[in-house]
Amino acid sequence: MAQFVKVATTDEIAPGTGKQVEVNGKQIALFNLDGTFYALDNTCTHRGGPLAEGSVEGEEVTCPWHGAQYNIKTGAVLSPPAPQGVAKYNVRVQSNDVEVEV
């Protein structure tokens, strides 16, 4: 059964940036878009690049390895070379804690 797990605090991730976190053995990219947090699988579907290290512009993250782009809110792939999107996870903020449902 899925449950929310604390992965960060709101002040750890500046707006417009991402951070890699690990939850139950899963590598997750956590993003802050103007104070709203989103979580995706951290692994690009093209060659496994770390999405948390990618550049963020608006609602898009660009994989730092080969330039595939994903929608941060949905995990949908927006441009090649990635063949498909990545999983997204529910996120909630409790007080100052950022929690991801896994």
Residue-range domain boundaries for the chain: 4-101
Give 2-59 pLDDT, tens digit per residue. Answer: 899 999 999 999 999 999 999 989 999 999 999 999 999 999 999 999 999 999 999 9
| Architecture label for domain 4-101 | 3-layer Sandwich (2.102)
> Are 18 and 79 spatial neighbours (Cβ–Cβ below 8 Å)?
no
User: Tokens for 92?
Assistant: 């909630």
Measured CA to CA, the distance from residue 67 to residue 75 in angstroms comes to 15
The pTM score is 0.95
Half-sphere exposure at residue 89, Cβ-oriented, CA atoms within 13 angstroms: 27
